[in-house]
Copies of this chain bind each other. A is one copy, B any other.
């Protein structure tokens, strides 16, 4: 029940593609992450996933197109839809995610980038 400052929380870590949990809302969690380069193709079979761009430009790749998500914008990736977030030109993009506590980082895919533990900050 205390205010949480998103920039201050983002300043607490530097690792790319490593989700950090800042809050829980019912059975969902609020995550911060710093993205750089390309992630991995995956889908979450049972959970939707919301991305909010706080800094920079996110390129959300779908199999049939790429959506450009700017600072101040959100995008919801529906359950079952393959996606692969990406940044361009070495930009570090700051995002907030809203997703179920049960959501696996890279869905059913195992990758060197896959994280199973999200630090609470």
The B-contacting residues of A in range 29-53, CB under 8 angstroms, are: 30, 47-50
Interface size class of A (residues with CB under 8 A): 35 or more
Q: Is A6 on the interface with B (CB-CB < 8 A)?
A: yes
Cβ of A33 to closest chain B Cβ, rounded Å:
15
- Residue in A4, A49, A67 whose Cβ sees the most chain B Cβ within 10 Å: A4
Residues of chain B lying within 8 A (CB to CB) of residue A70: 3, 5
Contact A3 B73 (CB under 8 A): yes
Chain A interface residues toward B at CB < 8 A = 1-7, 22-26, 28, 30, 47-50, 62, 67-70, 72-79, 81, 98-100
21 contacts between A and B (CB under 8 A): A1-B67, A1-B77, A2-B67, A3-B68, A3-B70, A4-B76, A5-B70, A5-B72, A5-B73, A6-B74, A7-B72, A22-B74, A23-B74, A25-B48, A25-B49, A25-B50, A25-B76, A25-B99, A26-B48, A30-B74, A30-B98
